[in-house]
Amino acid sequence: MSTRKILVTSALPYANGPIHLGHLVEYIQTDIWTRFQKMQGHEAWYVCADDAHGTPIMLRADKEGITPEALIAKTSEEHQADFADFNIAFDHYHSTHSDENRELASDIYLKLESAGHIAKRTISQAFDPEKQMFLPDRFIKGECPKCGAADQYGDNCEVCGATYSPTELKNAVSAVSGATPIEKDSEHYFFKLGDFEAFLKEWTTSGHVHESLENKLGEWFEAGLQDWDISRDAPYFGFQIPGSDNKYFYVWLDAPVGYMASFKALCEKQGLNFDEYWAEDSNAEVVHFIGKDIVYFHALFWPAMLKGAGFRTPSKILAHGFLTLNGEKMSKSRGTFIKARTWLDHMPAEPLRYYFAAKLNNGVSDLDLNLEDFVARVNSDLVGKYVNIASRCANFITKKFDGQLTEITEAHPLVAECAAAAPQIAELYEQRDFARAVREIMALADKANQYIAEQEPWALAKDESKLPQVHDICSTGVRLFHILSIYLKPLLPALGEKAEAFLNLPPQQWSDVGQNLSGHAINKFKPLMTRVQSEDIEKVLEVAAEEAKAFAEPEKKVEATNPIADEIEFDDFAKIDLRLATIVEADHVEGADKLLRLQLDLGDETGGVKKQVFAGIKSAYDPEDLIGKTTVVVANLKPRKMRFGMSEGMVLAAGPGGEDLWILEPSNNSRGKFSQAGNRVK
RNA sequence: GGCGAUAUAGCUCAGUUGGUUAGAGCGACGCAUUCAUAAUGCGUAGGUCCCAGGUUCAAGUCCCGGUAUCGCCA
């Protein structure tokens, strides 16, 4: 088998927040695949970086009173600690805010520009006059133009699902300063994606992306490839575009370049040849693992950029689905948003690696973390089946045979069968069908346990003359455990190391599956892993629930502008006779700015009392809309002489004033009954 | 709203180009066993393959319509 050169990447996590379990699906998937390739003896490199640019990071740093550089340095440290503790073994972890990335992004841009793939034109965009900055869609809030829902973002409505442009939003405000955005012109730079249509059509349908994504890509082609806006105006945290005054690369332009930049840094560290992997004629493999949400960037923009700048294009874009928790989308407010660190505070990393692997295949379907299933599956498979094989054999070897294995016949049917599965399991790893690989491996573990149960070494051990048989059986069991350990090692690197320590073997490669352990001395068995406790899961969920509260509360912490009045006795309230009344007449009052004159009918219960009331609701109601409505009136208020006539009561209304004023109207009840004028309000 | 994906046992999932009686693991129940971290082995129960049409000798699988869930809309 020839040695492959493979550069592997995971999508770059954004430096604006912590790593959560959803992120980990991808990093664990990528890590398993890369570890597998390394075990095969291939030259595989796994690089990643923090995605450190863009408006959200700039604003967050501003809010925290630190520089963006300080913010991303802090985040990077946290991200790397999280990854390390999940045994994600990057060969290099970089940042898109790095010299390598600046050089590469500029280089790619300049090449695209000189080849005529960059267009410049002026567009009009929302601008925050207070902060003196252009506002991305996500930073404009207002009312949905379709359904009127309040507090919606500038791109789509979370209530009715409508999509629109920020300029259509009603009563828009800047989420940054609260100011009303204005429209402002600015020159933007565009990458002419359409120039690459023919290339991309060919590229995307020739095995570089998963076929289930071809439909989706087809849609995009059908809609027509549009120019991509790659510039942002200052202030912006990013790289200045060469040859421009105040234009910066849009974060998504330099993000994928970060893959190259991280690898470049690795090259300097390891003395590798960058061009061997990235030159146009490179025969190395470049494999990107991504989530299905960013296929557009990786399957269209990215290969087009590389092609246009004279670099090689990716070998594979591998997209996975999203993580759900107990069947539901992870949500910060519902307390199902679990950070990597929260998990690690209460649980070991490897069971999660195993569980994800057991459910990952090469498709893009979503993956559910069912916590009950997780506990049962991990304990049953790993402790009950796999570790148990070593555990039940080791004592005999240690106590009766001084830790020495016997002559193991590789021709033993079960050993032969187990070892013969190597190519098939390797192929499943290669195809990223980890779920199937896990099933195959566990089926072999079942067979090992069956074998030991049938042979009953514990029964034979009672008879001195049968000890050689016991030795054979248990040595075979250990050998089977050895093979299974190699199969599981990409998934469970830490457990694999413990297994190697027990087996007294150096770090195992895939080819060691065939290694004969005859006469080999093993070490005393120590429990390799402990069972996952559901109480620990509970703790994780409790912390997530706490965080959900903290997430929800700040919104409620508003200053009381209109505090509740002093307490009163019931008698005080009972003195007020509130009645339902029908508005029978309503008209404007000559010479009054705020008043409307209402003629009210207080209904039969009052003996048909009619009252004239002047109400200060002109700013919010037209008289004709009021006629026929039933409302609430203070019926026993002492009449008061006003300039325009007698006011014999008071209509109740709520709201701060102006257009924001609402009179009260009784609602129909659930039994379909209607209230009547004259009913007392109590 | 447009487009896409998914729907199979209590739970999590397999089911290859349509082809006998729809499978696995976990869970439940029963039995056996005690070397092993209450770990293993044998067995039993459990399914209207989301609903409704259609194609076919034959549909979990193909086609059409619907429902639900999820995602994407640069």
Token pair, residue A626, equals 């009021």
Sequence-ordered list of residues with C-beta below 8 angstroms from that of A561, at least 6 positions apart, any chain: none
Crossing angle for the helix pair A68-85 and A55-64, to the nearest 10 degrees: 100
Q: State which nucleotides on strand B lie below 7 Å from a protein beta carbon.
A: 1, 3-6, 11-14, 24-27, 34-37, 39-42, 70-74
**Mean pLDDT for all residues in chain A:** 87
Looking at the DSSP bridge assignments, the partners of residue A650 are A634
Is residue A193 within 8 Å of residue A228, measured between CB atoms? yes
Q: Is the pLDDT of residue A470 over 90?
A: yes
The answer to whether the predicted template modeling score (pTM) of the entire model surpasses 0.90 is no
Nearest nucleotide from residue A155 CA, by C1' atom: B73
Protein CA at A73 to nucleotide C1' at B19, angstroms: 62
Give the pLDDT confidence of A77-136 residue by residue, as tens digits. Answer: 999 999 999 999 999 999 999 999 999 999 999 999 999 999 999 988 889 898 899 988
Number of H helices, E strands in chain A: 23, 27
Nearest to A373 by CA among A389, A361, A388, A355: A355
User: d(Cα A150, Cα A133) in Å, to the nearest integer?
Assistant: 24
DSSP reduced 3-state for A256: helix
Mean pLDDT along residues A624-653 = 79
Give CA A529 to chain center in angstroms. Answer: 29
Of A41-55, A579-593, A648-662, the least confident: A648-662
| A213-242 residues near strand B (Cβ < 7 Å) | 215-216, 219-220, 223-226, 228
Of A200-204, A362-366, A388-392, A571-575, the least confident: A571-575
Protein CA at A323 to nucleotide C1' at B1, angstroms: 26
A577 beta carbon to strand B: under 7 Å: no
**What is the residue whose two structure tokens read 């016949």?**
A409
Query: What CA dihedral angle connects A126, A128, A134 and A136, to 10 degrees?
Result: -70
A292 beta carbon to strand B: under 7 Å: yes
**A39 vs A436: which has the higher pLDDT:** A39
Q: How many CA atoms lie within 13 A of A223 on its CB side?
A: 10
The residue whose CA lies nearest the C1' of nucleotide B71 is A293
Nearest nucleotide from residue A355 CA, by C1' atom: B12
A440 beta carbon to strand B: under 7 Å: no
Q: Is the pLDDT of residue A484 over 50?
A: yes
Give the pLDDT confidence of A8-31 residue by residue, as tens digits. Answer: 999 999 998 899 888 899 999 999
- Specify whether the backbone of A276 is left (phi greater than 0), alpha (psi in -120 to 50) or beta: alpha
Confidence of residue A559 (pLDDT cuts 50, 70, 90): very low
Confidence of residue A563 (pLDDT cuts 50, 70, 90): low
Mean pLDDT along residues A539-568 = 66
Share of chain A above pLDDT 90, in %: 50
A388 beta carbon to strand B: under 7 Å: yes
| A142-171 residues near strand B (Cβ < 7 Å) | 155-156, 161-163
The residue whose CA lies nearest the C1' of nucleotide B39 is A384
Give the pLDDT confidence of A257-281 residue by residue, as tens digits. Answer: 999 999 999 999 999 999 999 999 9
Q: What is the pLDDT of residue A161?
A: 58
Confidence of residue A52 (pLDDT cuts 50, 70, 90): very high
Mean pLDDT along residues A399-405 = 93
Cα separation values, A443 from A16, A439, A515, Å: 43, 6, 21
Nearest nucleotide from residue A447 CA, by C1' atom: B41
